[in-house]
Each structure stands twice: as C-alpha cells, then as structure tokens.
Amino acid sequence: MYPLNEELSMKNILIIGCAGQIGTELTMELRKIYGNEHVVATDLKEAPASIMQSGPFHQLDILDREGIRSLVKKYQIDGIINLAAILSAVGEKNPMLAWNINMNGLINVLEVAREEGVTRVLTPSSIAAFGPETPIENTPQETVLKPKTMYGITKVAGELLGDYYFNKYGIDVRGLRYPGIISHEALPGGGTTDYAVAIYYDAIKYGKYTCFVKEDTKLPMMYMPDCLKATIDLFHAEIKNLKHHSDFNLAAMSFTVGELAESIKKYMPQFEISYEPDYRQAIADSWPNSIDDTSARSEWGWKPEYDLDKMTQDMLHHIKIKHQNGEY
Ligand code: NAD
Ligand code: SER
C-alpha cells in the first residue's frame, strides 16, 4: 500500500498522542511498515489494546520534556510524529489548555529533536489555520492566516515554528493542514467537524441525528484511509521535492451537512436529520468551504481515493458491525 524507499524511512519512530482518532489507526499502519518494535507509541492516557499489546507503549505527557528525551534516547528515535493536541471545540472551552498542550508540547518535541539529533518530525496543522478573511472557496496554499479560535492560532504558530526549526536548525519538520477527518475506529476528540462522524453512529443506532451546525454548513473533509495515506506519504516524501514543509494544504472532498445526510439516505432511506446549531457554528463558519491542494499533489504526489458516497457506504458498513457487536 505504501511503497517505501529504504533511504526515506526512519529507523525508530516515536508517536505522541497515539490514542486519539488519528493515532489509533496511524500507529498500527506504521507498525505494519516498520515492524512493531520500531514504532514506540505514547499518550497521556492508555491506548487501545491493539496498540498496547502489539508493541512498545509508554504513558507520556507531552509537557514532560525530559520524559520525551528519555524515550528518544532509549529507543534511538530518529523520527517523531506529534499527534497530541486539544482540538477546536474543546479548545474554545479551555483556550489556555489548548495553548499549553499545542504550543508548549510542540516546543518540547522540537527542542528534544534539536538537542538529540532526531532527523524528522511530523506535526499536523489544520483547516483551522484559516479564518474568515481567508478566501472561502478553493483556499490557496499561500493565503491569509488569521484564525479566530485558540486552536487555529496554535496551528498557525505551529506551522511557523516547524519552518523555523527547518530553516534554522535543519530539522526536517513536516506538516499538513488536515480537513475534518472521518473514521469509524476511534471517536474524534472534541473538534468542530465531529458531527460528520457522529451522524453515522446515530444513523445506525437511532435512525436520526440532531446536528450542531446548520444544514448549509460546508467544510472540507477526508476519510481516514486517505488521511493515513497522506500522512505516511508526506512523512516519506523526498525532501528535495518539497518546497513547503509544515503547512501543506490537503483536500479530498467538501460537502454540506445536507449533502452528507442525503448520502446516508441513499443507503438508509428512513434516516432523519434535524438541526440545533450551538457555539461550534461560529467556528465552522470561520473555516473554508474547499481547499486547493495543488502543492501537495505536485510536491509529493498526493491524490485522494474516497468521495462522499464511497465513504458513506464504508462508514455505515463498519459502524453497523460495531453496533451489532454491542460496542456502542
Ligand atoms: P484526538 O483529540 O483524537 O487525539 C489527541 C490525543 O492527544 C489524545 O489521545 C489525547 O489523549 C492526547 N493528548 C492530549 N493531551 C496530551 C498530553 N498532554 N500529552 C500527551 N498526549 C496528550 O486528535 P486527533 O484527531 O487524533 O488529531 C491528531 C492531530 O491532527 C492534532 O494535531 C489535530 O490538531 C490534527 N487534526 C485533526 C483533525 C481531525 O479531524 N481529527 C483535523 C485537523 C487536524
Ligand atoms: N477536525 C478538527 C476540529 O474540528 C479540525 O482541525 O477541530
């Protein structure tokens, strides 16, 4: 699935924040590629059994710089993937927590990388880096970055820090502006785009869903298999081809909530949706409708595989099995 050039691979990878929506699946994909022992998984909380039983796992707070250093030394880590973060909705409830984890955590990762000779760091950004002054359709790679959420502010600062460590210290820091990620393995961790996951769970369990943003809210989204592919492909891209580093625009599909509901109705005609917008509406309204990811496509060959209906069929299939197994 992911053709690997020996020279582009890392020897040992440290994942921070492995127990979240993306880490739960990315850790296992990387273990398939590198071998279980070469992917050291960490999180503040316990990880799913699949991760804890298949390879090294340590409980680690990203705010504990010496804890990160000691694992980097112990496992001779040469690549770090930082997934620990407070996302947009939780971040607006507790902005100082978002600042602390997202910024001081990232600085710890970058400083340990600098001091211990880690060669590559991947730390994701987000569509939350954009704001209401950004062009809303086909948002360009180079554009206005004036987010209105604390989460978005930390994402812009994180992109700038990544490029700073690349230019000043030669550390190969890479990052992508993920759209909303949709998946069925682990639940999302408190973002504004969480409705696009919850809708499938409630469709299967209750046959209906009440959405916290309006019907015409349109955001860029991506299915997890494409997210994993993008992340791993960028992590292994040849550096000589990269003109950008920490801030790649990334796109797969864009849809309104109404269109998402129509997609579900194709396979579940009785499905019903209602709307009760809350504080997350303002966050969603400050983000673009669609993204121009030409730089990712031309610099490291990015191409998504899933569209809305293909994703809907797969989500409904997997969540139905979870429900039948009594998992939720
Ligand atoms: P998540 O909230 O599901 O997972 C984050 C993980 O970080 C959790 O397992 C949490 O326990 C861990 N964590 C929190 N505080 C920690 C600390 N102090 N020390 C160590 N670990 C800590 O998030 P995710 O969706 O997996 O996101 C991963 C990255 O991708 C984040 O940088 C996020 O901003 C970015 N991103 C995600 C999305 C999305 O839709 N999921 C979209 C854009 C960007
Ligand atoms: N899915 C994320 C959020 O809504 C986007 O970064 O916070």
- CATH label of the domain that carries residue 155: 3.40.50.720
Domain that holds residue 92: 13-180+223-249
Closest-CA residue, ligand 2 atom 3, reads: 191
Catalytic choice (2, 34, 75, 151): 151
The atom number, within ligand 2, closest to the CA of 128 reads: 6
pLDDT given for residue 9 in this prediction: 79
Beta bridge partners of 176: 248
Confirm whether 35 is domain-assigned: yes
Confirm whether 96 is domain-assigned: yes
**What SS3 state is found at 148?**
coil
Q: Are residues 306 and 187 in the same domain?
A: yes
Confirm whether 1 is domain-assigned: no
Confirm whether 17 is domain-assigned: yes
Check pocket membership of 19 for ligand 1, CB cut-off 6 A.
Answer: yes
Check pocket membership of 217 for ligand 2, CB cut-off 6 A.
Answer: no
Question: If the chain, 328 residues long, is cut into consecutive pieces of 10 residues, what is the mean pLDDT of each piece?
Answer: 64 98 98 97 98 98 99 98 98 98 99 98 98 98 98 98 98 98 98 98 98 98 98 96 98 98 98 98 98 98 98 98 96
- CA separation for the pair 228, 185 (Å, rounded): 13
Q: What is the pTM of this model?
A: 0.98
The count of structural domains within the chain is: 2
Q: Are residues 76 and 26 in the same domain?
A: yes
Q: Are residues 80 and 201 in the same domain?
A: no
Q: Are residues 78 and 197 in the same domain?
A: no
Instruction: Enter the tokens of residue 150.
Output: 């604390």
Contact 108, 154 (CB under 8 A): no
What length is written for the chain?
Answer: 328
Check pocket membership of 20 for ligand 1, CB cut-off 6 A.
Answer: yes
Check pocket membership of 21 for ligand 1, CB cut-off 6 A.
Answer: yes
**What SS3 state is found at 305?**
coil
- DSSP character at residue 20: S
Of 161, 162, 128, 170, give the one whose Cα is nearest residue 145: 128
Going by C-beta distance under 8 Å and a sequence separation of 6 or more, which residues neighbour residue 73? 116
Neighbours of 73 (CB within 10 A): 11
Is 2 an annotated catalytic residue?
no
Q: Are residues 161 and 274 in the same domain?
A: no
Q: What is the CATH number of the domain that holds 211?
A: 3.90.25.10
Instruction: Enter the tokens of residue 66.
Output: 């010496």
- CA separation for the pair 182, 252 (Å, rounded): 11
DSSP H stretches of helix in the chain: 23-34, 49-54, 65-74, 88-93, 95-99, 105-116, 150-169, 195-206, 224-235, 257-267, 280-285, 294-300, 308-324
pLDDT given for residue 5 in this prediction: 62
